[in-house]
Structures are given as structure tokens and as C-alpha cells.
């Protein structure tokens, strides 16, 4: 069977963050609700000179540079987002121009809430597996701004960022076998953003129920596909990364997974298994969400980047279960088989280094930024160089003749 998967991955987070300490003080909420109850400490804030296009291009630019990929070699580019900038023109078209991706490339945008990134990845792996050209490459990008508005229960789960992956044959980082998966979809109203709404409508506690049900069903489907014959799925995996709208969602998800997997055990035994496996299999993937918050489509893959950077050589040759959930809802449980000798690539992720370059902003500054409308953004190209840094190569400069401008 053709070995297809991801040769390298990169992540981009914007240059500002707000602390949950400052948010808690401003909202009159005990900070422990955010630190202990949700498990989050900082949220990435996107400045007005960035949007889903610049974050996508900034993530993918790093990836093309570090892999030495000529943009003209990309034959498929999928951008997954629920933070689109236009009802018709895809974010992918803007990114094509910024990155210099060639014209002989299939380019499109995918939307299915946070699940969209996985849809783009699975489709790209299948495309590369079927192509006649050995060296064909696909670029999969997930880019989003989790924005709930002010003074509501979703506000402390906000974040922003993008992830980019290069898909090819004989991948260097991990393989994905798209037949070894478990899927689930059902129409629900747990989180949705009707056309014209700037922020989503959320039934928060119900969304957690929908997520856990999707985990249960897709794990069951994966078990059937793998024909485990009574063996436990959890025992065939080395790590699990869950979609993480906030850090403790991974804890809730893993507790549920352990309960399902050890149905026959008593409560004390299940709690022991939960503690042991959580620390070993899940905890190493959590530092990104604590620092960044929810990045919707890229969230589960930010968890994967965190895991790779935390575990380094330990993760070589290991099996990582990925549980991807998107409201609405759709879910998939898949497996990434990490390659031997992946450490050199992992050393090039530099996620912690990128997080350290961010600037803390005040609650007043955050309020100002998130009160602005895109049409109010007017920068002059000569001022724009102040906003660029090692990671931020592309910025948004405003709208002219209904056309978004970037440099």
C-alpha cells in the first residue's frame, strides 16, 4: 500500500496575548474558574493587521521555507476555516497569491466548523495516494479566529492561529491510513454562526454532550474498522490528542474514553487507569491550548505539535490517536503513525520559541482591537514593516474597492 502522510507541519500564532488573570479581574470572575475550571492561562489575540488569510499564509510560508518546497510543486491546496473573509472567494485564493502557488493547482476552501481541517487532510492524503505523479504534493492549512464577543461564557475560550501541513508520498513525519478511521456526523445545534452573525450562537453545555457522544460513536466505528476482536483501542495507541476548545475538554474527553474502554472495571480501577493514561498519553499535548486557546480547525493539530515538541525522540515510531470534532456536528477518530527519525523535524517546530515572542496586551487594548471592524482598518504600506517579524511575513492593510489588500 502507498505510504502517504505528512512530511512536515508548522504552526502560526499572532503576536499578542491576553492573560486569563486580566480577563477574570475585568469580568469579576474568580481566576480559578479559568485556570482550574477550564485549564487555560492565556489566549492569542489577533491584531487588526491580521486575519484568517495572513495567518494561513504565515503558517504555510514557514513550512515551504523549512522543507525547501517550491510553491509551484503544490498540486492541491486546501484551506479549512470557519473564519472566511468572503462568501464566494476562498481564503485559499488569497493565500495562493501571497505564497506564489502555481496555476496548475486545485485550490479550495472547506468549512465544517472545527472538523474542516481533518476533512482537508483526509481528502489530500487520498488525492496523493491516487495520483500518477510520485512527487505530487498537497498543502493543507487550517486557520481560524475563535471570537465569542464580550462578557459571555465562551469569551475565556477564545484564541487565534493556523496550522499548515505538507502531504506527500513516503512522508517524513507521520503516515495516515485513511481506511483506519472512525466517523460520526449528526445535525445538531450546539454551536453555529448564521450568515451575517459576527460571533457564534453557543449552547455551551449541550456542545460538550454532543462532543462526548461523537467521541463515543467514532471510537466505536474505529474499533470495528480495526477489527480489534475484543482488544481495547486505548491499548493499541501510545498517545491521544483530542480537539481542544479549552484545555480541560481533553480531560473530560479522556475520562469518557477510559470509561468506555474499561466498562467492565469498577470506579476505582477506572479512575486509576484514567490518571495513569492521562498523564502519559494526553498531558504532553496540552501546552499549546493553555497558551493559545481555541483555534477551531487547527486546534487538534496544535495539540499534535505540542505533543511532538514535548516528547521529541520519545514519540518516534509511536501511534497517535487524533480525535477531531466540529460542531454542527461531524467527527473523526484517526491514527497518525509517527516515523522513526522524526526528531530532526520536531526540533524545527519551534512552537515554544514562537509563543515566547508574543507581547502581553491589556484588557483595554484587547477591547479596542476586538471592537474594530475590518472596513475601519486603514494602514499605509510603509507603516506595515513595523508589524512584520520573523513569523509574521504577511499583513492585511485594509479594503480598497471591496478588495482585501495584503503585503
Is the CA virtual torsion 96, 85, 390, 78 positive or negative? negative
- Nearer to ligand HMG among residue 90 and residue 326 (C-beta): 326
Strand partners, 19: 42
Return d(Cα 224, Cα 227) in angstroms, integer: 5
Per the annotation, the verdict on 383 as an active-site residue is no
Task: Specify the 3-state DSSP secondary structure of 109.
Answer: strand
The CA–CA distances, whole Å, from 117 to 77, 249, 336 equal: 12, 19, 15
Q: Cα–Cα distance between 312 and 204 in angstroms, integer?
A: 35
Q: Which of residues 8-47 bind ligand HMG (CB under 6 A)?
A: 30, 32-33, 36-38
Complex with ligand HMG: residue 37 or 71, whichever CB lies closer: 37
Residue 165 CA from chain centroid, whole number: 11
Among 20, 147, 169, 243, binds ligand HMG (CB under 6 A): 243
Task: Figure out which of the listed residues 23, 114, 139, 377 binds ligand HMG, where binding follows CB under 6 A.
Answer: 114
What binding mask, one character per residue, do residues 245-274 give for ligand HMG by CB under 6 A, x or -? xx--x-------------------------
Nearer to ligand HMG, 94 or 191 (CB): 191
Closest distance to ligand HMG from the beta carbon of 191 (Å): 5
Question: Among 69, 93, 175, 207, which residue sits at the site for ligand HMG (rule: CB under 6 A)?
Answer: 207
Burial class (CB in 10 A: 0-12, 13-18, 19+), 211: buried
Please give the size of the binding site for ligand HMG, defined by CB under 6 A: 29
Q: Which is nearer to ligand HMG, 33 or 272 (CB)?
A: 33
Does 154 bind ligand HMG (CB under 6 A)? Our answer is yes
- Choosing from 56, 110, 113, 295, the residue that interacts with ligand HMG (CB under 6 A) is 113
Name the residue nearer to ligand HMG (CB basis): 171 or 245. Answer: 245
Clarify whether 243 is annotated catalytic. yes
Q: How far is the CB of 80 from ligand HMG (least distance, A)?
A: 11
Q: Are 258 and 276 in contact (CB under 8 A)?
A: no
Between vectors from CA 280 to CA 247 and to CA 125, what angle results, nearest 5°?
75
**399 class by beta-carbon count within 10 Å (0-12 exposed, 13-18 middle, 19+ buried):** middle
Q: Which of residues 284-343 bind ligand HMG (CB under 6 A)?
A: 294, 296, 325-327
Catalytic-labelled residue, pool 20, 50, 112, 114 = 114
Count CB atoms within 10 A of the CB of residue 78.
Answer: 26
Give the shortest CB-196-to-ligand HMG separation in angstroms.
18
Q: Is 112 a catalytic residue?
A: no
**Cβ neighbours around 345 below 10 Å, total:** 20
162, 141 contact by CB (below 8 A): yes
Sequence-ordered list of residues with C-beta below 8 angstroms from that of 156, at least 6 positions apart, any chain? 20, 23, 24, 33, 34, 38, 40, 43, 246
Segment interacting with ligand HMG (CB under 6 A) among 5-13, 73-81, 218-226, 244-252: 244-252
Which of 112, 147, 243, 254 is labelled catalytic?
243
Assess 198 for contact with ligand HMG (CB under 6 A). no
Minimum distance from residue 103 beta carbon to ligand HMG (Å): 32
Rounded CA gap, 390 and 172, in Å?
25
d(CA 104, CA 350): 32
Q: Does 277 engage in binding with ligand HMG (CB under 6 A)?
A: no
Stretch that binds ligand HMG, among 203-211, 261-269, 313-321, 372-380 (CB under 6 A): 203-211
**Residue 104 phi, psi dihedral angles, 5° rounding:** -90, 65
Q: Measured from the CB atom, is 202 or 307 closer to ligand HMG?
A: 202
Q: Write out the catalytic residue numbers.
A: 82, 114, 243
The residue ranges that bind ligand HMG (CB under 6 A) are 30, 32-33, 36-38, 82, 113-114, 153-154, 157, 190-191, 202, 204-205, 207-208, 211, 243, 245-246, 249, 294, 296, 325-327
Amino acid at each position: 500500500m502507498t505510504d502517504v502522510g505528512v512530511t512536515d507541519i508548522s504552526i502560526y500564532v499572532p503576536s499578542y496575548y491576553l492573560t486569563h488573570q486580566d480577563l477574570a479581574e475585568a469580568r469579576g470572575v474568580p481566576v480559578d474558574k479559568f485556570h482550574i475550571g477550564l485549564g487555560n492561562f492565556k489566549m492569542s489575540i489577533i491584531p487588526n493587521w491580521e486575519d484568517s488569510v495572513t495567518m494561513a499564509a504565515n503558517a504555510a510560508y514557514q513550512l515551504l521555507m523549512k522543507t525547501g518546497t517550491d510553491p509551484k510543486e503544490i498540486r492541491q491546496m486546501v484551506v479549512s476555516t470557519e473564519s472566511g473573509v468572503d462568501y464566494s472567494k476562498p481564503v485559499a485564493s488569497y493565500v495562493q497569491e501571497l505564497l506564489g502557488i502555481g496555476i496548475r493547482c486545485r485550490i479550495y476552501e472547506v468549512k465544517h466548523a472545527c472538523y474542516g481541517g481533518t476533512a482537508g487532510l483526509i481528502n489530500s492524503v487520498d488525492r496523493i495516494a491516487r495520483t500518477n505523479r510520485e512527487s505530487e504534493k498537497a498543502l493543507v492549512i487550517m486557520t481560524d479566529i475563535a471570537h465569542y464577543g464580550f462578557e459571555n461564557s465562551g469569551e475565556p475560550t477564545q484564541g487565534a492561529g493556523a496550522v499548515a501541513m505538507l502531504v506527500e508520498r513516503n512522508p517524513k513525519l507521520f503516515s495516515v491510513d485513511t481506511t483506519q478511521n472512525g466517523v460520526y456526523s449528526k445535525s445538531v445545534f450546539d454551536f453555529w454562526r448564521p450568515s451575517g452573525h459576527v460571533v457564534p450562537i453557543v449552547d455551551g453545555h449541550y456542545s460538550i454532550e454532543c462532543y462526548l457522544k461523537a467521541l463515543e460513536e467514532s471510537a466505536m466505528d474505529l474499533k470495528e474498522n480495526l477489527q480489534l476482536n475484543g482488544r481495547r483501542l486505548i491499548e493499541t495507541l501510545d498517545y491521544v490528542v483530542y480537539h481542544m476548545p479549552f484545555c480541560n475538554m481533553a480531560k473530560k474527553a479522556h475520562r469518557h474514553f477510559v470509561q468506555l474502554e474499561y466498562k467492565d472495571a469498577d470506579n476505582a480501577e477506572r479512575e486509576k487507569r484514567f490518571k495513569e493514561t492521562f498523564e502519559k498519553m494526553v498531558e504532553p499535548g496540552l501546552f499549546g491550548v493553555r497558551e493559545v486557546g481555541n483555534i477551531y480547525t487547527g486546534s487538534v493539530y496544535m495539540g499534535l505539535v505540542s505533543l511532538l515538541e514535548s516528547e521529541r525522540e520519545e514519540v518516534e515510531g509511536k501511534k497517535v490517536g487524533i480525535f477531531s470534532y466540529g460542531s454542527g456536528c461531524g467527527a473523526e477518530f484517526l491514527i497518525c503513525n509517527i516515523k522513526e527519525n522524526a526528531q530532526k523535524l520536531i526540533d524545527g517546530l519551534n512552537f515554544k520559541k514562537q509563543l515566547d515572542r508574543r507581547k502581553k496586551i491589556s484588557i483595554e487594548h484587547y477591547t479596542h482591537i476586538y471592537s474594530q471592524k475590518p472596513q475601519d482598518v486603514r494602514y499605509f504600506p510603509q507603516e506595515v514593516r513595523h508589524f512584520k517579524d520573523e513569523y509574521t511575513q504577511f499583513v492585511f492593510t485594509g479594503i480598497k474597492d471591496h478588495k482585501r489588500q495584503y503585503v
